[in-house]
Amino acid sequence: MKRAAVFSVVWLVEVFVALFMPRVQTHRLLLAPGIEPLRWTLGRWRAWRTAEQAARRVPAYRAYLAESGRASRLDTSGGIAGAFSTLPEMDKDSYVKRWSIPERCLDGRLPRRGVVVDESSGSSGTPTSWVRGPDERQATRQLLQLGFARTSEELPKQPFVLNAFSLGAWATGMNVTASLTESTMIKSIGPDRDKVVQTMREFGTDFTYVILSYPPFLKALFEDDRLDWSEYTIVCAFGGEGISENMRAHIEQYAHTVLGSYGASDLEINLGIETGFSVALRRAIAADPALSSALTKQGEYGVLPMVFQFNPFGYLIETNELGELVVTIARSENISPRIRYNIHDRGHVVRMRDLRPVLRSTGHADLLELAELDLPLLFHYGRSDLSVDYNGAVVAPDVVRDVVYGDPALLEAVENHRLISHEDAGGDRQLHIAFQLAAGAASVEGFDAAAARGAVVAELRALNRDFSNAVRTAPGGTLPTVAFYPYRTGPFRDDGRKLKNEYVWQLGASAVEDWDLDVSWTAPREV
């Protein structure tokens, strides 16, 4: 179809949606089975329209395209996917940090009213503010309400949401509360276990408690023996980081449903969701190497991916040559458009039409009976930028490097460093910060390993506010550990065999013992 005809169709669809969108039934119509090709096509058309609108109306994006020699209009004669691949990717460094917030907005200005600002500090520790206009917030609110409505229909008792995500300027906590206030009974607690226990004890067992938080918090909560958890009806939703199936199984002893959401402050907090079908598929992938080989890159990345479903009407998600997700938000209402935004997460998309024959050929056709939504699947393998997740925060080896470089004694004593994320025998995700001492470090004047451990954590917390908050709210037994290892010992014993240093490790519980990790020193909550 020609540009004018496509944009006219998109306009008519969006007018219909705008008129009826407040009704959950309209959302359900858009997610109805059997119209997957229509959603897929309309989403691409919307992304096309939004990209060209950004090229016309957003000063920063217009300049960004000019730098790369791209035209403001896409040549879609070879298909929309091919046309989009010619547009430059954007990320924090290449786009966000180079232009001011107004320059990245429609018509180069911020609206006077209705704008909410939230922030993320990311891995660098420098806060990044994200602006969201009223139309964008309404769209996010309605989508969250739809997801909640689908869940609440199956709940045996009146739902009571306990929002235990971090509150304040962080995107998830404030947006969840704003979105669900109209739809349910909600208390915004933050990651405070005492307050969750107190609230549930006060309100009793006549509710279905929908507890929203990070996986480590949920696990620690249910290990608190102040409540008899068997007396309560509980549903858990998590975000901020992935979860192992061992961890999920542990939490499911207390909650009859445990589902995750995928999002990011850079984009939106709810790009994709886990469903009963996607969880069953993930478990089948974990148990069947043939299915894993057919659908995933687990062999390449060494990680069992999280599996989400997402609505292609709202997002165009690509995978670049490095295996990273590149996301375009298709809505035109966003005051600060994201066109081919690379958040540096590894992943890829599989449409249901391509999944069905794979499941049948590998003997898993029975899983299709669980697929209530024919939405495409998003396979997510974690960060690609050498970062690790810790209790909802992102920690990068670069910030550890900055700590070392900022201390003359550390700079002279330390050969290199490594962030080691591992799961212990109890299913808790742990973060170990390891430093390899230089060959002659023992004689470095002024270097005190015992004092350096506390100084490292204090400086990391000063540089990365999300990490500081994560340490403050971490469940007992999951605080970060720090150790200094003599040259070529412990986790560094095999260093030198590869051309490049490895700054991040993701280890399973069984692998930890093999590397002789010194986890005897635990970071204090407050420094």
| pTM, to two decimals | 0.84
410 vs 206, more confident:
206
More confident residue, 280 or 18: 280
Residues 198-254 have pLDDT tens digits of 999 999 999 999 999 988 889 889 988 999 999 999 999 998 888 888 888 889 999
Three-state DSSP state, 360? helix
Residues 104 and 126 both lie in one domain: no
Domain final residue pick, 352, 385, 418: 385
Please give the structure tokens belonging to residue 235.
């549903």
Looking at the structure, tell me whether residues 239 and 362 fall in a common domain: no
**Distance between alpha carbon 158 and the CA centroid of its chain, in Å?**
29
Q: Strand 185-188 to strand 158-163: parallel, antiparallel, or no bridges (unpaired)? A: parallel
Residue 80 lies in a domain: yes
How much is the pLDDT for 359? 98
Q: Is residue 520 part of a domain?
A: no
Condensed to tens digits (0 to 9), the pLDDT of residues 461-478 reads 988 888 998 998 888 889
Q: Are residues 315 and 420 in the same domain?
A: no
| Digit-coded pLDDT (tens) for 75-106 | 888 889 889 999 999 999 999 999 999 999 99
Domain limits for position 10: 1-109+274-385
| 261 and 136 in a common domain | yes
Instruction: Look at residue 187 and tell me whether its pLDDT is greater than 60.
Output: yes
Mean pLDDT over 264-290 rounds to: 93
Which one of 317, 350, 385 terminates a domain? 385
128: which strand partners?
120
Among 53, 178, 49, residue whose Cα is nearest residue 105 = 53
Q: Is the pLDDT of residue 156 over 90?
A: no
- Residue 12 identity (one-letter amino acid): L
Residues 143 and 222 in one domain: yes
CATH number of the domain bearing residue 192: 3.40.50.12780
Are 352 and 214 in the same domain? no
CA dist., res. 239 & res. 252, Å (int): 16
Domain membership flag for residue 78: yes
- According to DSSP, residue 170 is labeled B
Do 401 and 509 lie in a common domain?
Answer: yes
39 lies in the same domain as 115: no
**DSSP of 242-285, one letter per residue?**
---HHHHHHHTTT-SEEEEEE--TTS-TTSEE--HHHHHHHHHH
Which pLDDT belongs to residue 326?
97
Report the chain's mean pLDDT, rounded to a whole number: 88
Domain stops at, among 369, 385, 401:
385
Number of domains in the chain: 3
Give the pair of three-digit tokens for residue 188.
């915004």
Q: Which residue has the higher pLDDT, 330 or 520?
A: 330
Residue 28 pLDDT? 65
Q: Could you tell me the pLDDT band of residue 123, with boundaries at 50, 70 and 90?
A: very low
Q: Verify that 360 and 379 share a domain, yes or no.
A: yes
Least confident of 1-5, 170-174, 444-448: 444-448
Provide the residue type at 370 as one letter.
Answer: L
Question: From the CB of residue 331, how many other CB atoms can be counted at a distance below 10 Å?
Answer: 21
Mean pLDDT of 318-334: 95
Q: 68 lies in a domain? A: yes
User: Looking at the predicted structure, is the pLDDT value of residue 22 above 90?
Assistant: no
203 with 253, same domain?
yes
* pLDDT for the residue numbered 75: 86
Give the CATH number for residue 504: 3.30.300.30
Percentage of the chain lying above the pLDDT 90 cut: 50
Residue 525 lies in a domain: no
Same domain assignment for residues 302 and 225: no
Separation in Å, CA 472 to CA 126, 226, 454, 469: 19, 21, 15, 5
User: Contact 253/222 with Cβ under 8 angstroms?
Assistant: yes
Q: Determine, yes or no, domain membership for 524.
A: no
CB hemisphere CA count around 230 (13 angstroms): 0
Of 149, 205, 143, 152, the closest CA to residue 176 belongs to 143
The pLDDT of residue 358 is above 50: yes
Least confident range of 34-43, 69-78, 140-149, 234-243: 140-149
pLDDT class of 268 with cuts at 50, 70, 90: confident
Instruction: Kindly state whether residues 258 and 114 are assigned to the same domain.
Output: yes
